[in-house]
């Protein structure tokens, strides 16, 4: 049930003036272009799909193999080529260690990632990077932006978890080709790509939780096809501590059971590929996702009848052409998406009156990028452009009023990326810039029935600078600077799903960020490890926070100025049969608005410390793992009056493989901690889950694992 997400709005936003940093960017970019000498290796064909060299336009995703933590898989290698100086992490979906798939459970393993849940499985979940609001994180599915004018904050529960194979997390500066740059960074979800897959998997457990998924692929010469289907659901009827709406009076607290929390989600993925050679490669994909669920409200005031449902169709096509082996490559991408949703609360249990709304959102776009020839080994560059057309048909704010006419946004984009490799690639200088010209017509209906219209044109300018210095023994230093802006989306203006009250007076958010740190990968006597440490800082203006406007809802408001800085550390190590993964983040996020009452207070729902650790043991047919997640205390409101205490959650799993059949037993929140991420929205206690998987994929057809 969504009710939080920061984004921003701008009425008229011309091209930003060029200051000292802009001058440096333009001089460096000009120098890189005019000094062109040879870069990117030629793309290779694997599994009849493309493994692009260093393309920022996201060509066809390569097959992703979940490996022990220290090994570099295909996804991580591609992500590092896209953003050579950025701090980037790739994560597997964790199916070998988790019985039921969850995007939220996977992404929290990366340092600096915070997931806020508004209830159990299937409930609204928002993701933040480095303390940035969820609306400042660009979320993509196979390179197609899911963040849109219709949905500024991407709900993790709306993503097809069963189809996701791996996740790329870009903290801070993200590749310029991955959609409109946002201050927080980007997360790219990669769906299954193995054309040789033949798998079937079922799972079940506590609170009526279940999952089923299957994949079937085939290949014939240059042609390949993959079909994947999945279902996930849960009753969500877990116990929780009900404070009876009086958080300061513990005497009337009692244990209650969550009601109207049932959800069911189904996804279907069909992908076809054609790759006759390294010079010509193409693929098309159709994805369908449908979800229905109850909207239970808060724990103290449950809503027993409201229902919410949605379905989304996404069609994408990608092609890559190289006229000759040492020539430049051209990458083309096109996508069309349609999203329908319905909220039904005929008894007015959510506090917004009687509601029965149907809304529709349409999105279409395309891009083209030119990648420098493979023989350019000193200078590489990408030049690209894109267009995007978005339309929203939201419902009226109150039952009985006519729905407003459609609102539309048109975006035209261009970007330039240049990388200069010096001293045999020990020194790398990175410069990028993206321009997005937006024109939009926003129409909404006031509570009085009057129609309000606004026409806006703006240019968003997002420059980046980065550097990487290789020392010795796998040690390298990295640093980045970036600036980004973002306009508020339609859901912040109109409200969403009966839980967010729209605010048409929002102004733009702006942020300037920098980070610096080191990365080290090496091996010694059978011990392999990789470690990364970074310090980051962000100065944000007009940050959008959500203030509670009713017992069940919130309203977005601008914060004048906010200051965020912190440190992130991650370590992955493997020795014999043991794999260790540890990530920790420290964050300082303070309100610097001119209102004296708020000045210096911590921004809500931003923990100062968060850590995640997992130890896994693999011995042939046996697998065992234990994970610990720690979150320090957080404030629930901007005034810092209500505080959520710190918590430590412990989980474990044990698996056994019988040839093609695998059995996995998993326990979550073994300490049965009854906690909340957001006041009034309880999370599940102890859970026991069991999965059974059948994998008939021929080993000789699997993608080669890279050590």
pTM equals 0.83
For residue 17, the model assigns a pLDDT of 38
How distant, in Å, are the alpha carbons of 95, 567, 640, 647 from that of 630? Answer: 22, 16, 21, 6
Decide: helix, strand or coil at residue 670.
coil
pLDDT band at 159 (very low <50, low <70, confident <90, very high): confident
114 vs 75 pLDDT, higher one = 114
DSSP 447: T
pLDDT band at 604 (very low <50, low <70, confident <90, very high): confident
For residue 34, the model assigns a pLDDT of 39
When mean pLDDT is compared over 37-46, 50-59, 277-286, the highest value belongs to 277-286
pLDDT over 60 (residue 698): no
How distant, in Å, are the alpha carbons of 231, 590, 599 from that of 638? Answer: 38, 10, 10
d(CA 129, CA 594): 25
Count CB-CB contacts under 10 A for residue 316: 22
d(CA 390, CA 142): 19
Phi, psi of 345 (to 5 degrees): -140, 75
Burial of 364 (0-12, 13-18, 19+ CB in 10 A): middle
Percent with pLDDT over 70 in the chain: 84
Q: Are strands 634-635 and 643-644 parallel, antiparallel or unpaired?
A: antiparallel
| DSSP H or E stretch at residue 434 | strand 427-445
pLDDT band at 547 (very low <50, low <70, confident <90, very high): low
The two structure tokens encoding residue 283? 């693929």
The pLDDT tens digits of the residues spanning 625-667 come to 999 999 999 888 888 887 888 999 999 999 999 989 999 999 9
Q: Are strands 185-191 and 137-141 parallel, antiparallel or unpaired?
A: parallel
pLDDT over 50 (residue 39): no
How many Å separate Cα 297 from the centre of its chain?
25
For residue 673, the model assigns a pLDDT of 92
d(CA 233, CA 306): 18
**Mean pLDDT, rounded, of the chain:** 82
pLDDT band at 260 (very low <50, low <70, confident <90, very high): very high
CB 310 within 8 A of CB 302: no
How distant, in Å, are the alpha carbons of 88, 241, 251, 480 from that of 121? Answer: 27, 18, 29, 36
The pLDDT tens digits of the residues spanning 395-453 come to 776 667 777 888 899 999 999 999 999 998 899 999 999 999 999 888 877 766 777 78
pLDDT over 90 (residue 126): no
pLDDT band at 64 (very low <50, low <70, confident <90, very high): very low
For residue 147, the model assigns a pLDDT of 79
d(CA 443, CA 408): 9
| Least confident segment among 287-296, 360-369, 672-681 | 672-681
- The closest of 407, 524, 422, 404 to 470, measured between CA atoms, is 422
d(CA 627, CA 634): 22
Pick the CATH number of 12-247+260-456+465-503+510-701 from 2.40.170.20, 3.40.228.10, 3.30.450.70, 3.10.110.10: 2.40.170.20
| Least confident segment among 57-71, 314-328, 530-544 | 57-71
Residues 6+ apart with CB under 8 A from 511: 132, 136, 183, 483, 484, 485, 538, 539, 540, 541, 543
CB 130 within 8 A of CB 566: yes
The pLDDT tens digits of the residues spanning 160-183 come to 888 888 899 998 888 888 888 887
How distant, in Å, are the alpha carbons of 243, 630, 638, 651 from that of 240? Answer: 10, 20, 25, 19
Q: Are strands 12-13 and 451-470 parallel, antiparallel or unpaired?
A: parallel
pLDDT over 60 (residue 292): yes
| DSSP H or E stretch at residue 491 | helix 490-494
Residues 6+ apart with CB under 8 A from 161: 93, 101, 102, 103, 230, 232, 265
For residue 496, the model assigns a pLDDT of 57
The two structure tokens encoding residue 11? 């009425």
Q: Kindly state the average pLDDT of the residues 312-319.
A: 94
For residue 549, the model assigns a pLDDT of 58
d(CA 58, CA 55): 6
Give residue limits of the domains in the chain. 12-247+260-456+465-503+510-701
pLDDT over 60 (residue 201): yes
pLDDT band at 470 (very low <50, low <70, confident <90, very high): very high
Decide: helix, strand or coil at residue 23.
helix
Q: Are strands 687-695 and 661-668 parallel, antiparallel or unpaired?
A: antiparallel
For residue 345, the model assigns a pLDDT of 87
């Amino acid at each position: 049930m969504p009710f939080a997400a920061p984004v921003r709005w701008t009425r008229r936003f011309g091209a930003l003036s060029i200051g000292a940093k802009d001058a440096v960017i333009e001089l460096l970019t000009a120098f890189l272009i005019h000094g062109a000498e040879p870069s990117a290796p030629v793309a290779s064909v694997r599994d009849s799909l493309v493994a692009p060299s260093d393309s920022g336009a996201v060509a066809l995703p390569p097959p992703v193999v979940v490996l022990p933590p220290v090994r570099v898989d295909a996804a991580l290698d591609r992500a590092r080529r896209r953003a050579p100086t950025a701090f980037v992490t790739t994560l597997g979906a964790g199916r070998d260690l988790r019985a039921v798939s969850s995007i939220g459970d996977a992404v929290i393993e990366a340092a600096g990632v915070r997931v806020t849940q508004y209830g159990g499985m299937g409930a609204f979940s928002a993701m933040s990077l480095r303390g940035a609001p969820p609306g400042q994180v660009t979320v993509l599915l196979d390179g197609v932006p899911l963040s849109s004018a219709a949905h500024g904050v991407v709900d993790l529960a709306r993503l097809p978890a069963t189809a996701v194979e791996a996740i790329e997390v870009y903290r801070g500066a993200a590749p310029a080709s991955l959609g409109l740059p946002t201050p927080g960074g980007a997360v790219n979800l990669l769906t299954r790509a193995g054309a040789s897959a033949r798998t079937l998997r079922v799972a079940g457990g506590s609170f009526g939780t279940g999952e089923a998924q299957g994949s079937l692929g085939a290949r014939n010469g240059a042609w390949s096809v993959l079909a994947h289907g999945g279902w996930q659901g849960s009753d969500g009827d877990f116990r929780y501590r009900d404070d009876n709406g009086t958080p300061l009076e513990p005497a009337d607290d009692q244990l209650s059971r969550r009601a109207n929390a049932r959800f069911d989600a189904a996804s279907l993925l069909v992908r076809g590929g054609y790759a006759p050679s390294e010079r010509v490669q193409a693929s098309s994909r159709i994805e369908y996702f449908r979800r229905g669920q109850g909207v239970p409200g808060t724990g103290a005031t449950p809503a027993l009848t409201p229902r919410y449902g949605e379905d989304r169709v996404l069609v994408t096509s990608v092609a890559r052409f190289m006229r000759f082996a040492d020539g430049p490559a051209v990458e083309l991408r096109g996508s069309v998406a349609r999203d329908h949703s319905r909220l039904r609360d005929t008894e007015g249990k959510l506090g917004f009156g009687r509601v029965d709304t149907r809304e529709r959102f349409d999105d279409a776009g395309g891009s083209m990028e030119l990648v420098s020839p493979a023989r350019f080994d000193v200078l590489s560059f990408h030049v690209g452009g894109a267009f995007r057309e978005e339309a929203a048909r939201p419902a009226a704010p109150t039952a009985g009023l006519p729905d407003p006419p459609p609102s539309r946004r048109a975006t035209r984009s261009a970007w330039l990326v240049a990388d200069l490799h010096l001293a045999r690639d020990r020194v790398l200088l990175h410069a990028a810039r993206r321009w997005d010209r937006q024109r939009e017509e926003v129409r909404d209906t006031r509570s009085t029935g009057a129609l309000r219209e606004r026409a806006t044109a703006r240019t968003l300018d997002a420059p980046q600078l980065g550097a990487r210095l290789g020392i010795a023994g796998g040690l390298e230093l990295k640093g980045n600077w970036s600036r980004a802006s973002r306009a508020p989306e339609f859901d912040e203006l109109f409200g969403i799903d009966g839980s967010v009250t729209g605010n048409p007076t929002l102004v733009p958010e702006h942020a300037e960020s920098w980070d610096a740190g080191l990365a080290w990968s090496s091996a010694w006597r059978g011990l392999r490890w990789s470690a990364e440490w970074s310090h980051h800082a962000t100065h944000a203006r007009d940050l959008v926070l959500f203030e509670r406007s009713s017992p069940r809802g919130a309203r977005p408001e601008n914060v004048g100025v906010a200051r965020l800085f912190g440190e992130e550390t991650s370590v992955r190590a493997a020795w014999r049969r043991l794999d260790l993964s540890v990530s920790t983040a420290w964050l300082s996020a303070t309100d610097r608005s001119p209102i004296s009452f708020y000045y210096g207070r911590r921004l809500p729902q931003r923990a100062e410390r968060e850590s995640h650790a997992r130890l896994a043991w693999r011995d042939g047919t046996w697998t065992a793992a234990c994970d610990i997640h720690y979150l320090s205390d957080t404030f629930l409101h901007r005034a810092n009056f209500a505080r959520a205490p710190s918590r430590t959650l412990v989980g474990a799993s044990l698996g056994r493989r019988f040839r093609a059949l695998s059995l996995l037993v998993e326990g979550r929140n073994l300490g049965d901690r009854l906690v909340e991420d957001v006041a009034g929205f309880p999370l599940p206690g102890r859970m026991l889950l069991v999965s059974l998987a059948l994998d008939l994929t021929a080993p000789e057809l699997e993608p080669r694992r890279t050590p």
